[in-house]
Structure 1
């Protein structure tokens, strides 16, 4: 019996096929790290002042207006551009590994434009929460961890969505990106989701004061991680192009 063309197409889709948008983001982050390693320390400081997220930029009592370059425009773009800077090769490498693991399925589901908007939104959310908890701080925050945390939360919204929609197949993990995601309140009843969220928060809270990542002084900007994760979890439906009602032809239901 012939199978539906759309189902056959998805079956041939490689599970580990990396979307171009993930590749481009990775290349940009690696290229920026190369440039930062190559330029003089003075220029490196200027790059941080212009593109890193510095809470003191928004507090006139700490820094006079005009002290940091970029002006009002930098006040806006640094909510996102900080995600492309990293404290070293270990930092950028770890973030890219996590982005490959969790950003890949999200990018395949959202598409390029939606994914870039989602990446920017979760990065900005991370910067926003960091600003609220580090008001007036001079230490710049850098790293893609907040956006990667948002990707983790988004992947969590649909990674178990195949159950109840289709029979198990060897490529079920890869095809999960095509299944309708349950509402958040329903997803949060799943013990696996609850366990993932609990462990994720425990790890961030436990290592947030000592592990080497996040900001240039060596501490972890764990509040930014939480901001990106929560916004990714809550705003997922705004970016998700997959409908709530499964196509019976694409998602054959289990006999009950």
Structure 2
């Protein structure tokens, strides 16, 4: 059966604004949470940060303060590894993170699906948090924000966006088609792709440049948890394959598609 031209066009030309529901839900969640928290009293905001923010000292102890106890106990240690990603320090902070989440979370969510995306997103946030804790043992400076998890989405996206069937595959001279068989996003392939290495190098370099100094490209001086960013990005880059299983089509051809779609003789949507 031949696919009518209008159906083929609909399949190969996705809508310009096509944000997966799970990504949109996360963006709405962080915006609403900040909107609510920012309108509370200073004392209430401080209590929320102490309970839900990421404090390295909560995990490692604080030198000179052996009796210091954080609320929540062991459960607090566990949920703060995730809850810190929902808190932000300003409207600029939450809006910038939302834009980056839309940009890099959307292609990742479309590729691996809702459940895998959530597991991947929070796993990157946890790895970023643990690296920050390790490098800042004993610190009482809280870390808040979704940047580590979003950095993981950047690392994960780097594994496939430059492939021939990826959104930026055209940069390598290949024509992009959303109906093309999905190529395997192996770590070996990513680390030998010059575009991936340039992307990773620029991002890591910017974090080392602006992170320790706290000076942003806009000239604003803020505390940047660059260690968490780095941990999240590396987790996304190296562990993406665990959330993106490669499956051969039933026909034995390449990619995560059925024979009908691969050959063009698929059922109409």
Same topology, TM > 0.5: yes
* Structure 1 contact 162–176 (Cα < 8 Å) conserved: no
Question: What's 1:158 paired with?
Answer: 160
2:128 alignment counterpart: 126
Larger radius of gyration: 2
1:198 partner SS: helix
Unaligned runs of 5+ in 1: none
Q: TM-score, normalised by structure 1?
A: 0.85
Q: Evaluate the alpha carbon distance shift between residue 176 and residue 33 of structure 1 in structure 2; reply closer, same or farther with a 3 A threshold.
A: farther
CA distance in 1, matches of 2:146, 2:180: 23
CA distance in structure 2 between the aligned counterparts of 1:177 and 1:130, rounded to whole angstroms: 40
In 2, Cα distance between the equivalents of 1:79 and 1:56?
Answer: 13
User: In the alignment, what sits opposite 2:267?
Assistant: none
CA contact (8 A) 2:124 2:235 kept: yes
Aligned-pair distance for 1:66?
Answer: 6.7
Q: CA 1:243–1:180 in 2, change beyond 3 Å: closer, same or farther?
A: farther
Q: Does 1:223 align with 2:227?
A: yes
Written as runs of structure 1 = structure 2, the 5 A alignment for 1:33-72 is 33-62=34-63, 63-64=65-66, 67-72=69-74
* Distance of aligned partners of 1:113 and 1:177 in 2 relative to their CA distance in 1, 3 Å threshold: farther
Distance 1:177 1:100, change over 3 A: farther
Deviations 1:108-157 (A, max 9, x none): 11111111111110000000100011000000001111111100011111
Partner deviation per Cα, 1:46-101 (whole Å, 9 max, x = no partner): 10011100001123344556722111101001111111111100001111111100
> Counterpart of 1:184?
187
Per mean C-alpha deviation after superposition, the further-off stretch among 3-12 and 57-66 is: 3-12
Q: Distance in 1 between matches of 2:202 and 2:4?
A: 40
Once the two structures are superposed, residues 145-201 of structure 1 have per-residue CA deviations (whole angstroms, 9 ceiling, x without a partner) of 1111100011111112226999725xx4xx389722332112221111111111111
Tell me the TM-score normalized by structure 2.
Answer: 0.81
Residue 110 (structure 1) aligned to one of 86, 109, 112: 112
The size of the alignment, in residue pairs, is: 245
Root-mean-square deviation (Å): 2.9
